[in-house]
Amino acid sequence: MLFTEFNLSDAKRIWREEGVEEGIEKGIEKGMEKGETLKAFAIAKNLFAMNISLEQVIAATGLTREEAEGLR
């Protein structure tokens, strides 16, 4: 059986590194979601400029009715 000595400073360092990695992953996910939303807004604005109906814009972009109406 292998025995190792618990080292609090090493444990804290590892926990901090894991927390940073998790934070970076969550940040990337949120950034990607925000980017997709911004793309949908831009597409909706272009569709409205082409006189596409509100219902068709909602169906094409996945935006909520409130979001799409706010872009008109």
> 3-44: per-residue pLDDT in tens?
567 778 888 888 999 999 999 999 989 988 888 889 999 999
Residue 67 belongs to domain spanning:
34-72
- In this structure, is residue 22 part of a structural domain? no
> Torsions phi, psi of 51, nearest 5?
60, 35
For residue 29, is it within any domain?
no
Q: Global pTM? A: 0.60
Is the pLDDT reported for residue 45 higher than 60?
Answer: yes
Angle (CA) 66-31-54 rounded to 5° is 20
The pLDDT of residue 55: 95
Q: Indicate whether 1 pLDDT > 50.
A: no
Q: What's the pLDDT at 61?
A: 92
Q: Rounded to whole angstroms, how far apart are CA atoms 48 and 50? A: 5
> Domain count of the chain?
1
Residue 46 included in any domain: yes
